[in-house]
Amino acid sequence: MSVAASLSFDLAAGGVRELNAALHAGEAAEYRVLEPGGRHAVAAGAMDEVEVLIEGSVGYYCAGMNQRATVRVRGNAGVGVAENMMSGRVFVAGDASQAAGASAHGGLLAIAGNASARCAISLKGADVVVRGSVGHMSAFMAQSGRLLVCGDAGEALGDSLYEARIYVRGEVASLGADCVEKEVRDEHRAEIVELLAAAGFDDVEVADFRRYGSARRLYNFDVDNAGEY
Amino acid sequence: MCGIVGVYSKSDRFSAELGTHLAAMLAEMSHRGPDSAGVAVYRDPVAAGQAKVSLRAEDGIDREALTEALDRGLGLERLETQGDSFALATVHAEPAAAEAWIGAELPGLQILGAGRQIEIYKDAVHPDEFIARFDVGDLSGSHALGHTRMATESRVTAAGSHPFSTGRDLCLVHNGSLSNHNRLRDELAREGTVFRTANDSEVAAAYLTRRIAGGEGLEAALESCLENLDGFYTFAVGTADGFAVLRDPIACKPAVMAETEEWVAMASEYRALAVLPGAAAARVWEPEPGVVYSWGGESA
Amino acid sequence: MAANQEPRPGWRDGLRESATFDRATIHEIQRAAREGIYAIRGGGAKRRVPSFDDLLLLGASVSRYPLEGYRERCETDVVLGTRFAKRPLHLEIPVTIAGMSFGALSAPAKEALGRGATAMGTSTTTGDGGMTPEERGHSKTLVYQLLPSRYGMNPDDLRRADAIEVVVGQGAKPGGGGMLLGQKISDRVAEMRDLPVGIDQRSACRHPDWTGPDDLEIKIEELREITDWEKPIFIKVGATRTYYDVALAVKAGADVVVLDGMQGGTAATQDVFIEHVGIPTLAAVPQAVQALTELGMHRKVQLIVSGGIRSGADVAKALALGADAVSIGVAALVAIGDNAPELEEEYAKIGSAPGFYDAWHEGRDPAGILTQDAELAARFDPELGGRRLANYLRTMVLETQTLARACGKSRVQNLEPEDLVALTVEAAAMARVPLAGTDWVPGRESR
């Protein structure tokens, strides 16, 4: 079967199934998705190094469990964009709803607008970079990977954090259980530069970022820390 | 669990087409609420001294008998029926007086809502059927709320569907699941509220009704929900002038808002907003948890 | 003087024990005062609750006729996932192996479960930690769990699985998340779960990207899209408000509902959670069947019941109440070698005894099953374990067929509630079958 250079899908005419079937069958190198109309699971389960261009706003789980593909959403994304992504890149030109990048293991999720509550919840190794602000409980139980926020962060940032690293440039409304501010050293500045460059947000000042990580007091139960639970 | 939608018109053209848009929004939410549907549409305000009352009878409405009774008791301006079970009565009385009289004299009727503008229709049928049955697409109006239901802990009945009336020209739709509604229901029942269902949303509506009837403004009453209601909720409340939205502080249930020059709208999922004219260029945002948003002013 | 020699229960040498503050309760209060934390253990609810033991089957006689063993067939196969999936599961027996994590269990233990299940034509299920190559390699039919933690979740394993089980909860702890203590977070477990070695794992109790059946419906759509609609989607719930839960699972799009009663086991959870949250399996099954029937979905959305299934009698009774199949967890572990009497000395060293060992969270299991210790795990022979499991499953199925034939059934799923009676008022009320020898179903019209 020959691989087409580019295939177009009008979701108002066809549907998500047609697009995803073609994507999983490896029918093209590039997929253009028109009239997404807030539909769910658009470009979910991609497996190949292809380009997916979505012209509009999507619903839940866009690029869910993405592998290797580069997915660009020229609009807003609903709940769970790039959830459990393994590799590849997802760019959201607008805002993202809750649980953006939830439990993602690898790859990059870059949001040019704001992300909502629980951004990077349960993160497992991916990079999530947000040009705007994130909502409450972001990086909740984040195990590994990096969350970088150019704007503000809502309440309980990094609650129950494991080894993920968090960088925030704006205000943090409050820190969650076991999440503390940490020193920013040269290696962290380099990381911030790397993340901003990967996301394409080159105009952001590196100097004002602060770093947050786990205090590791909840790693093994100690009765004196019981108040944190 | 459910889908909720709300839409508020900023132009005459949009108001004329309100029903078309409301129907389209509701249809998009049917997958998350297949059991029942309901709408509250604000339109055709009646003259001073009059009230509109939305009515439902489980056993069917006897049009003649109802006409006679309402005319005798309150003075009947107009009676419109819809199918076997629904009626919209315009009577010569204030809304509260109309409700009191109908409640006392015609106990077989369920009062879905009362006010100067509000019309409430709801039924335990799939949203697509609901839209067809009630000709939702034909309704014009200034603003409307809609709801599609997936019943959680109470039965699928018309009475258990949303919107629930919370006072004159006031109603509530809810997406979520409360966890302390049973004790609240007992308290409110002891204070005189009559409940028809085991539905948690009915309790939330009754709670708001009580606070507002007690003199509290809508915003304050909604804010008190944060203290007194436990569980997960996105509430949308319809008022005479517009609508209000509140999400609980944990905010697991979704809510999306959008605005253009012609309309302001709210829905559980963006796809219900995507069907509105000019949606692609709309300002889109999500309401913050624990904050009351309102459009069009308060009504109490 | 030993307890079973007491002249009167609760009395010893003129000393009287309190029923409220009995020795076990006093012991637990003292432990809590010392340690400042809740007691954690494995297993399911230990206390006596109304169960299948309180039900009896009505065998054939003059009005009903039995089937001859062997010659007159009694079919046991079951198809799971007929509602939406392109590739439903075809199992030869109506008993599956429940979800148990690699992490809670050792790798050879998971291998044994795969071997035994495959030999008998049934499925195993992954647990809170993901899919291991051993399990996929040895299990012909493998169900892959999607849990709140999402440890190890990945689309390659999703596509390798034969079915997907969305875990809302389990019977031991409906409303609770997973738990694995530091001593079991070995290098391999840590790597699979993406955690630091040796820490106590904290687990979420809700899924990260959906809450509620309306949003679950959308999540299931995503899982189907990723796997091109091939695989059956199961929804697993711990037994609590079962009637509503099952109706909502159907509305959310489940192909199969897995219902786990309070006797269902766990590898590690607070004792207080295990004993005081959730309802007995017996009380949950009729609620589930009622919900399915009212929606016109009984047998169309299949029902798998777990939580204290121990023998063919339990299987037959669960099927009679309306289940399509059952699932075993604790029983499977015992079958492959947990609590073996040969290990009495080993158990004594860690303060326990065969028949009592439930400190599975400690990871010191001398049988090498509920541990991550390499030395202990090496003691466990997965081939032998697999044979033992196959023997046990075969026994269960033969028992089920014996009982079904005695009730005149040529297919085990043709057992029905009318084949059952109850020994106690509670069991009759919960199971919605009459008290033996009467027409009386407490709370309902007589039949």
pLDDT digits (tens, 9 = 90+) for A181-215: 999 999 999 999 999 999 999 899 999 999 999 99
> Which of C431, C353, C361, C337 has its CA nearest to residue C104?
C361
- Using alpha carbons only, give the angle B230, B233, B237 rounded to the nearest 5 degrees: 115
pLDDT in tens, A112-131: 999 999 999 999 999 999 99
Mean pLDDT along residues C422-440: 97
| Per-residue pLDDT band at B298 (split at 50, 70, 90) | very low
**What distance in Å separates residue C249's CA from the closest CA in chain B?**
11
Q: Are C244 and B32 a contacting pair at CB < 8 A? A: no
- Say what the pLDDT of residue B126 is: 94
Pairing assessment for the beta strands C302-306 and C325-328 based on DSSP bridges: parallel
Secondary structure (3-state) at B90: strand
Q: What's the confidence (pLDDT) of residue C3?
A: 53
Q: Dihedral through CA C266, CA C271, CA C273, CA C279, nearest 10?
A: 70
Phi first, then psi, for residue C413 (nearest 5°) are -75, -5
Closest approach of chain B CAs to the CA of C248, in angstroms? 7
CB-based contact A160 C150, cutoff 8 Å:
no
Which residues on C lie below 8 Å from B268 (Cβ)? Answer: 214
What is the number of alpha carbons within 13 Å of residue A23 lying toward its C-beta? 35
Query: Does the CB of C248 have a partner CB in chain B at under 8 Å?
Result: yes
For residue B249, count other CB atoms closer than 10 A to its CB.
11
* Chain B residues close to C218, C-beta within 8 Å: 31-32
Interface of A with C in 74-113 (CB under 8 A): 79-80, 83-84, 86, 98-99, 102-103, 105
User: What pLDDT does A226 receive?
Assistant: 66
One-character DSSP codes across C49-112: -S-GGGEEE---SSSS-PPPTTTS--B--EEE-TTT-SS-EEESSSEEEPB--BTTB-HHHHHH
Q: Give the residue from chain A lying closest to C228, CA to CA.
A: A21
Active site residue B2: yes
Region of poorest pLDDT, from A30-34, B193-197, C333-337:
B193-197
- Who among A121, A144, A223 is closest to C36 (CB)? A223
Asked if pLDDT for residue B154 goes beyond 80, the answer is: no
Output the six-digit token pair for B217.
Answer: 């403004």
Instruction: pLDDT band for C447, please (50, 70, 90 cuts).
Output: very low
Choose the mutation target among A79, A105, A122 for the interface with C, i.e. most C CBs under 10 Å.
A122
State the Cα–Cα distance between residues B265 and A78, nearest whole angstrom.
16
Average pLDDT score, chain C: 94
CB B70 within 8 A of CB B91: yes
Among A41, A82, A47, A118, smallest CA distance to C220 is for A41
**pLDDT band, residue B153 (cuts 50/70/90):** confident
The pLDDT of C222-241, averaged and rounded, is 97
Residue of C nearest to A85 (CA): C154
| Greater pLDDT, B46 or C179 | B46
Tens of pLDDT, residues B169-215: 999 999 999 999 999 999 999 998 888 888 999 999 999 999 988 99
The lowest-confidence range among A216-225, B285-294, C252-261 is A216-225
Question: What angle in degrees, to the nearest 10, is found between the helix axes of C213-226 and A16-25?
Answer: 40
Is the pLDDT at C6 greater than 90? The verdict is no
CA distances from B238 to B16, B41, B162, B171, C154 (A): 19, 9, 12, 5, 44
3-class SS of residue B178: strand
Flag if C204 and A122 touch (Cβ within 8 Å).
yes
With beta carbons under 8 A apart, name residues in chain B contacting C248.
1, 150, 152
> Do C251 and B253 make contact, defined as CB atoms within 8 angstroms?
no
Nearest chain A Cα to C195, which residue? A143
Helices (H), C295-414: 312-321, 330-336, 344-349, 374-378, 382-406
Nearest beta carbon to residue A41 from set C149, C153, C221: C221
Question: Of C97-106, C172-181, C195-204, which has the strongest mean pLDDT?
Answer: C97-106
Chain C residues whose beta carbon lies within 8 Å of the beta carbon of residue A83:
208-209
Residue type, B124: A
**Residue C106, beta-bridge partner list:** none
pLDDT at A8 exceeding the cut of 80: yes
Residue C70 has pLDDT above 70, yes or no: yes
Residues from B contacting A (CB-CB < 8 Å) are 28, 251-252, 254, 256, 269-275, 280, 284-286, 288-289
- Residue C218, chain B, CB below 8 Å: the answer is yes
Give the model confidence (pLDDT) of C101-111 as tens digits.
999 999 999 99
Q: Is the pLDDT of residue B142 over 90?
A: yes
Q: Where are the alpha helices (DSSP H) in chain B?
A: 12-16, 18-28, 63-73, 95-105, 127-133, 181-190, 200-213, 218-228, 271-274
The answer to whether residues B282 and B257 touch, using CB atoms and an 8 Å cutoff, is no
Residue of C214, C219, C248 best to disrupt the B interface, most CBs of B under 10 A: C214
**C212–chain B Cβ distance below 8 A for any pair:** yes
**3-class secondary structure, C166:** strand
d(CA A177, CA A140): 9
Q: What CA–CA distances, in Å, run from C156 to A47, C103, C159, C383?
A: 9, 20, 5, 27
Chain B residues whose CB is inside 8 A of the A39 CB are 271
Whether C1 has a pLDDT exceeding 50, the answer reads no
C194 and A CB contact within 8 Å: yes
- A220: which residues sit within 8 A by CB, 6+ positions away? C182, C198, C199, C200
What are the Cα distances from residue B289, in Å, to A77, A178, B286, B293, C64? 19, 23, 9, 10, 63
Task: Determine whether the interchain pair A44/C222 forms a contact, defined as Cβ–Cβ distance below 8 Å.
Answer: yes
Mean pLDDT of B40-59: 95
Each residue of C298-317: pLDDT tens digit? 999 999 999 999 999 999 99
Mean pLDDT on C53-61? 96
Q: How large is the angle between the packed helices B200-213 and B181-190, nearest 10 degrees?
A: 50
Does residue A158 sit at the C interface (CB-CB below 8 Å)?
no
Is A159 in contact with A214 (CB distance < 8 Å)?
Answer: no
What is residue A75's three-state secondary structure? coil
Report chain B's mean pLDDT, rounded to a whole number. Answer: 93
Whole-number pLDDT of residue C277: 96
Displacement of CA B222 from its chain's centroid (Å): 15
Asked if the model's pLDDT at residue B35 lies above 70, the reply is yes
Choose from B152, B154, B157 for mutation: most chain C CBs within 10 A.
B152
Contact between residue A34 and residue C144 where contact means Cβ atoms under 8 Å apart: no
Q: Within an 8 Å CB–CB cutoff, is residue C209 touching chain B? A: no
CB-CB under 8 Å, B288 with A98:
no
Nearest residue of chain A to residue C146 (CA atoms): A84
Residues C161-186 have a mean pLDDT of 91
User: Does residue C446 surpass a pLDDT of 60?
Assistant: no
Average pLDDT for B82-91:
93
pLDDT bucket at C69, cuts 50 / 70 / 90: confident
Residue B151 has pLDDT above 90, yes or no: no
Stretch C269-285: mean pLDDT: 96
Tell me, what's the pLDDT at C445? 64
Contact across the interface for B268 and C214, Cβ inside 8 Å:
yes
pLDDT above 60: residue B299: no
Q: How far apart are CA C219 and CA C190, in angstroms?
A: 27
Q: What share of chain C is helix, strand, coil (3-state, %, to 5)?
A: 40, 15, 45
pLDDT at B159: 83
Predicted local distance difference test score (pLDDT) of residue C4: 57
- Mutation site for A-interface testing, chosen from B29, B270, B273, B285 by largest number of A Cβ within 10 Å: B270
Residues facing B234 on adjacent strands: B175, B247
Q: What is the mean pLDDT of residues C348-358?
A: 94
Is pLDDT above 50 for B300? Answer: no
* Chains in contact with B via at least 3 Cβ–Cβ pairs below 8 Å: A, C
Both structure tokens of B16: 């004329």
Q: Is residue C5 scored above 80 in pLDDT?
A: no
